């Protein structure tokens, strides 16, 4: 009896061990299949293909993802107009036509009045301050909440730093000189300029030079010396205004289709997130390193005339900015909510920087 029981028990243990081994093999096999599966994504942008700074951010992102994933996730980057027009990037990602996009949030003002806050606010935060608000001040969560109804997940995708006021065919000596001026300028900066009597025009980067040259527009902002030299704007406009007001630290964005991201294994999702964060810092580093050298070329080789907007003009633009922001907040609840968070953080940064960097820059 005991012998039979012992033999039966031993057989039962062996059977359980066999089943357990099958289960482990099945799990291991499942994990191996997931790790072996490859994914191919498309990423569309609002910039010319391989354009310095803005256009190279997505290229570096694709390179980082490919290397970190050991080829399990490959991303093909398309410049503006190659797959979709530059101003249709958001829709393409939202509809699932492509998995990713790279653009600027101020282009979606018509869809979401609060969107421009996540790119550039006149007289707003610097790049460093904005990144702090996004990642440690609740800004990113608000951004994600804003895009969620469209099935799009935003991630900071680079920053061009403080931008010059732009290129003008005539000098600006008073606020009256802005009246009737046709200027390429997007987002809330365009709304402010409109309040001053100018005519804001929205154009993709590739359309600016020909529009300036033909006289379709009288002035244009773009980014700063590094990019403006590459586009050759000095051949179409005589005066380069260095005053910073409309885009004090312009954040670009990676747009990710929510379903496409959720379909990836967890490790690949994290790789996408980390690669975007790396590009966000890398782009700012590049602009900071290259802008001044490009400015020297513009002045010393191409005889560009540098100018600053008069104090009267800057004061007027700041006043119009306050009016525009107040109206936007009154007209849109979401804008008011995001702006409250943004402005509170901006005030905190202003107070701290007044105690530290402001005095340091003066002493240096």
Whole-number pLDDT of residue 208: 95
Per-residue DSSP letters for 224-249? -HHHHHHHTGGGT-SEEE----S-SS
pLDDT at 18: 44
335's enclosing H/E stretch is: helix 333-355
Average pLDDT over residues 262-269: 98
Residue 121 or 6, more confident: 121
- DSSP code string of 103-162: E-GGGGTTT-TTGGGGT--TT---HHHHHHHHHHSSHHHHHHHHHGGGTEEEEEEEE--S
β-sheet with 100-103: strand ranges across? 73-78, 39-45, 100-103, 251-257, 152-159
Return the pLDDT at 33: 53
Kind and range of the H or E element at 294? Answer: helix 266-300
Under the banding of pLDDT at 50, 70 and 90, the label for residue 24 is very low
Please tell me the CATH code under which domain 38-159+250-288 is placed: 3.40.190.170
pLDDT at 276 over 60: yes
Q: pLDDT tens digit string along 210-258? A: 999 999 999 999 999 999 999 999 999 999 999 999 999 999 999 999 9
Per-residue pLDDT tens over the stretch 165-223: 999 999 999 999 999 999 999 889 999 999 999 999 989 888 999 999 999 999 999 99
The domain spans of the chain are 38-159+250-288
The mean per-residue pLDDT over the stretch 290-301 comes to: 97
What average pLDDT does the chain have? 92
pTM: predicted TM-score of the whole model, two decimal places: 0.87
* Res 313 pLDDT > 50: yes
**At residue 132, does pLDDT exceed 80?**
yes
């Amino acid at each position: 009896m005991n012998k039979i029981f012992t033999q039966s028990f031993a057989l039962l243990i062996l059977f359980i061990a066999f089943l357990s081994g099958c289960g482990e093999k099945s799990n291991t096999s499942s994990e191996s299949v997931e790790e072996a599966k490859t994914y191919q994504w498309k990423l569309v942008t609002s910039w010319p293909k391989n354009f310095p700074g803005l256009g190279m951010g997505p290229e570096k992102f694709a390179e980082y993802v490919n290397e970190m994933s050991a080829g399990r996730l490959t991303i093909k980057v398309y410049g503006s107009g190659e797959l979709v027009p530059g101003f249709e990037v958001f829709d393409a990602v939202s509809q699932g036509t492509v998995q990713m996009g790279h653009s600027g949030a101020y282009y979606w003002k018509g869809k979401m009045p609060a969107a421009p806050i996540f790119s550039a606010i006149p007289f707003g935060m610097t790049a460093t301050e904005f990144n702090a608000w996004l990642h440690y001040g609740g800004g990113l969560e608000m951004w994600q909440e804003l895009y969620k109804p469209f099935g799009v997940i935003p991630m900071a995708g680079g920053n061009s730093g403080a931008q010059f006021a732009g290129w003008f065919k005539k000098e600006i000596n008073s606020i009256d000189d802005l009246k009737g001026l046709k200027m390429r300028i997007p987002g809330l900066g365009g709304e402010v300029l409109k309040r001053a009597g100018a005519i804001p025009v929205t154009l993709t980067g590739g359309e600016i030079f020909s529009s300036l040259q033909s006289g379709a527009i009288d002035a244009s902002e773009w980014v700063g010396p590094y990019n403006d030299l590459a586009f050759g704007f000095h051949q179409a406009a005589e005066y380069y205004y260095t005053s910073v007001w409309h885009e004090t630290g312009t954040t670009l964005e990676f747009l990710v289709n929510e379903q496409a991201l959720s379909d990836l294994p967890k490790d690949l999702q994290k790789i996408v997130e980390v690669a975007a964060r790396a590009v966000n810092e890398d782009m700012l580093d590049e602009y900071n390193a290259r802008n001044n050298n490009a400015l020297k070329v513009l002045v010393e080789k191409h005889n560009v005339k540098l100018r600053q907007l008069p104090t009267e003009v800057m004061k007027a633009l700041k006043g119009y900015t306050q009016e525009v922001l107040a109206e936007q907040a009154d007209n849109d609840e979401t804008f008011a909510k995001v702006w409250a968070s943004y402005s509170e953080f901006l005030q905190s940064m202003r107070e701290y920087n007044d105690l530290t960097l402001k005095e340091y820059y003066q002493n240096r």
